[in-house]
Amino acid sequence: MLMSSGDKAAKLYYAPGSFRVLRPGQHVFCAVSGEVIPLEDLRYWSAEHQEAYASPDIATRRLLDQG
């Protein structure tokens, strides 16, 4: 399937408890799985590592592995 120009990935700045859109888009990619995460579904990220995660399990594993 071809992606339209409206389907571009967003660039975000991740802060503790919130994020700021630096470049508009519809989604981001999970730093671990590469899964597409629509911005309205984005719930898990690391402000320290500036990464998004698709699920709490992925986020926990990633942060424990980096500890």
Quick one: CA dihedral 41, 63, 12, 31, positive or negative?
Answer: negative
> Each residue of 11-66: pLDDT tens digit?
999 999 999 999 999 999 999 999 999 999 999 999 999 999 999 999 999 989 87
> Each residue of 44-56: pLDDT tens digit?
999 999 999 999 9
pTM of the model: 0.85
Q: Check residue 66 and give its pLDDT.
A: 74
Q: Check residue 15 and give its pLDDT.
A: 98
Q: Check residue 12 and give its pLDDT.
A: 98
Hey, what are 12's tokens? 């975000």
